[in-house]
Chains A and B, each alone.
Chain A
Amino acid sequence: MKRISLLAPVASCVFLVLPVYADLAPKKITLSDFPAAAVEEVVIPVPSEIFAVLDKMGNPNWKGQLRSGKTPTPEDRARTALLLGNVIADGFVAVEAEDAERVKELGREVLTLADAINVRKSVITRCKSITDKADQRDWKGVRAEFDGVLQEVRSAMQELNDQDLSQLVSLGGWLRGTEVLTSIVQNGFSKDGAELLHQPELVNYFDRCIGSMHPRLRRNPLVSQIRESLRKIGPLISQGGDSITLEKVKLINSLTRDVDQQIDHGVQ
């Protein structure tokens, strides 16, 4: 009996031990050896990935970043998609500020904007969860729900064969997230904070996305304004994280704030 009990854990271990082997990965590769067809496009990080880093960098004044007022529901679908991305990013800011009422308002605004672009059904459950978790002050849970909203909206749009609008939602989220990030970084400038802006491939990716959109969308004044801004931001962040100075951060903040205002209020 004793013997069995001694052998049992050993036997379980043998059963559980997986056949692990090691391949020899080269220490260095030449990326230009990969033909374009062998390189997958960059996947846009979810806002939580950036907020996970910000969490480790202290406690900035998130309340100061909150926007107030009711979000409009534009007739222009491109602007609506961008605005939806903006509002989801605002949701993250409200979570960081631990403002339950604002989180709930933003959850309702997400639903209204999603309705305007025919993806309401895909986010109803998430939006209800946002309200419930905000009431419980389960901030980690709310953050996961906002991440989920973004992904559900994009998936729903891809299913509707609306890739362009799906990209605009992501772009809207990135623009508002970058505006907030640059505002925080410039208020307490540090190299570590500025380095978070080193996202050259993402900026190029968004530029390429706009370039491949339907000509009607490409000609949309708001979309072309955004592309112009992206092309100004690209060179500011392409030289490596440690070359992003306070002046560059301020410039990126001004560029993103301008386009976000146009997303919110319409092209002036």
Chain B
Amino acid sequence: MKNFCSSCIPRFRFLAIIALLSPVCSAVLHATVDDALSFAYEASLPYYKKGFSIRKDAWGGDLAVKDRKAVSAQLFRGNDYWFIMASDVKGASISVHIYDDKGNLVDAESWQRGSTSGMQGPSAGARVNPKYTGTYFAIVQILKSSEDRTPWALVYGYK
């Protein structure tokens, strides 16, 4: 699992970083995490068009079916946030939901989408309008997948 800061990095540089960070991973996995990230940015495009600034820092890795990962984030009351998750495994189902530091679900809305003609992998989104400023957790999960390990990536935007 990595918190990778892609930061406008051209594709080859991004792959180079991933390669440096995980020398034991196969080239195939690098490509799929990278694809998951591309899909996550693609799925966040409608929110960008609605005025959300999409962070270039991103999280990603791979998970087994039903495994969950908690991603910590400092959120500020007064901002509106969308967290967007994606994978490149066709037919997989994934989810992301936001919880506060006491473990309460705080999604203002959420959605999950399967593979479509426009996008080859599944995606999911959760919106939060924090009631207070503090630490929140985006819980990402692979609900269903044909793969033992399913690559995923998560980005977020705010306005």
Task: Please indicate whether A and B come from the same complex rather than being unrelated chains.
Answer: yes
Q: Which residue of A lies closest to B115 (CB)?
A: A19
* Interface pick from A63-71, A110-118, A191-199: A191-199
* Interface pick from B23-31, B34-42, B74-82: B74-82
**B5 to chain A: which residues have CB within 8 Å?**
151, 154-155, 158
With contacts A148-B8, A198-B132, A199-B74 known, is A27 near B53, CB below 8 A? no
**A201 touches which of B20, B95, B135 (Cβ 8 Å):** B135
Task: List CB contacts (< 8 Å) of B5-27 with chain A.
Answer: 5-9, 13, 16-17, 20
**A52 touches which of B7, B111, B158 (Cβ 8 Å):** B158
With contacts A28-B104, A40-B59, A53-B77 known, is A201 near B112, CB below 8 A? no
Task: List CB contacts (< 8 Å) of A202-225 with chain B.
Answer: 202
Once the chains bind, are A195 and B132 in contact (CB under 8 Å)? yes
Once the chains bind, are B133 and A198 in contact (CB under 8 Å)? yes
With contacts A21-B114, A28-B105 known, is A201 near B74, CB below 8 A? yes
Once the chains bind, are B70 and A22 in contact (CB under 8 Å)? no
Once the chains bind, are A199 and B133 in contact (CB under 8 Å)? yes
Alpha-carbon separation in the docked complex, A197 to B132 (Å): 11
Alpha-carbon separation in the docked complex, A47 to B42 (Å): 24
**A39 to chain B: which residues have CB within 8 Å?**
69-72, 137
Once the chains bind, are B1 and A42 in contact (CB under 8 Å)? no
**B16 to chain A: which residues have CB within 8 Å?**
159
With contacts A23-B143, A25-B110, A38-B69 known, is A31 near B99, CB below 8 A? yes
Q: Which residue of A lies closest to B56 (CB)?
A: A151
The number of chain B residues touching the other chain, given as a range, is: 35 or more
Once the chains bind, are B158 and A31 in contact (CB under 8 Å)? no
Q: Does A1 contact B (CB under 8 A)?
A: no
Alpha-carbon separation in the docked complex, A19 to B16 (Å): 35
Q: Does A46 contact B (CB under 8 A)?
A: yes
Summarize B's interface: helix, strand, loop or mixed: strand
**B76 touches which of A22, A37, A196, A200 (Cβ 8 Å):** A196
Q: Which residue of B lies closest to A56 (CB)?
A: B78
Task: List CB contacts (< 8 Å) of A76-102 with chain B.
Answer: none
**A23 touches which of B79, B112, B117 (Cβ 8 Å):** B112
Q: Does B101 contact A (CB under 8 A)?
A: yes
Once the chains bind, are A240 and B78 in contact (CB under 8 Å)? no
Once the chains bind, are B76 and A40 in contact (CB under 8 Å)? no
With contacts A15-B117, A34-B70, A39-B70 known, is A23 near B95, CB below 8 A? yes
Q: Does B65 contact A (CB under 8 A)?
A: no
Once the chains bind, are B70 and A154 in contact (CB under 8 Å)? no
| B interface residue numbers (CB < 8 A to A) | 1, 3, 5-9, 13, 16-17, 20, 53, 55-57, 59, 67-74, 76-79, 93, 95, 97, 99, 101, 103-105, 107, 110-114, 116-118, 132-135, 137, 139, 143, 158-159
Knowing that A18-B113, A52-B76, A159-B17 touch, tell me 19 more A-B residue pairs with CB under 8 angstroms: A19-B114, A23-B143, A30-B103, A31-B99, A31-B101, A31-B137, A39-B72, A40-B72, A43-B3, A44-B74, A52-B53, A52-B159, A53-B79, A196-B133, A199-B133, A200-B135, A201-B134, A202-B74, A242-B132
